[in-house]
Amino acid sequence: MARITGSNGARTAAAIRRVALRLIYRQGFAAMNLRDLAAEVGIQPSSLYNHIASKQALLADLMHEHMEALLSATDAALAAAGPALMDRLRAFIGHHVLYHTERRQEVYIANFELRALDPANLARIVAMRAGYEARLMALLREGVAAGELEIADIPVTAFAMLAMLTGICT
């Protein structure tokens, strides 16, 4: 593919991210190579390094961007639901399913390519995931404290809920 006339750094960077998501989703991170990525974007392989530090950094950035968007959108959905606990719990559940359905590639990569992250990037992403899980656990704890929910083990219940909700999307 030839480079698009009039393209610029921002457009090229966005194209790299878009194509990388598709290739990683389709082939897996280990099988995706930077030569194929560059060819699909329409740039020379060496030009990728004007936009990414490394293949590892690209994956970590894609996952970090996904987690930031998920956390921000979740907080907005919870705030919009109002103060009632069950409304916020329904909002969390509905938002999780909608977000994960609309962003299948990002979700798949964030869930199945954790193994490809180096230790520092893995720790950063796992901490963000823990923050997401903590939002649900806080709702469940609040429900138990208010007598609206009866849950014996909040972490296990939260993880089971997240697995089921994510399963709907996959």
Which token pair is 95?
A: 């938002």
DSSP state letter for 167: H
Quick check: pTM over 0.95? Answer: no
Report pLDDT digits (tens) over 95-119: 999 999 999 999 999 999 999 999 9
- CB < 8 Å & 24+ apart, contacts of 89-98: 89/139, 89/140, 89/143, 92/135, 92/136, 92/139, 93/161, 93/165, 96/162, 96/165, 96/166, 97/165, 97/168, 97/169
Position 8 confidence tier, pLDDT thresholds 50, 70, 90: low
Please state, in angstroms and rounded to a whole number, the distance separating the CA atoms of residues 152 and 37: 48
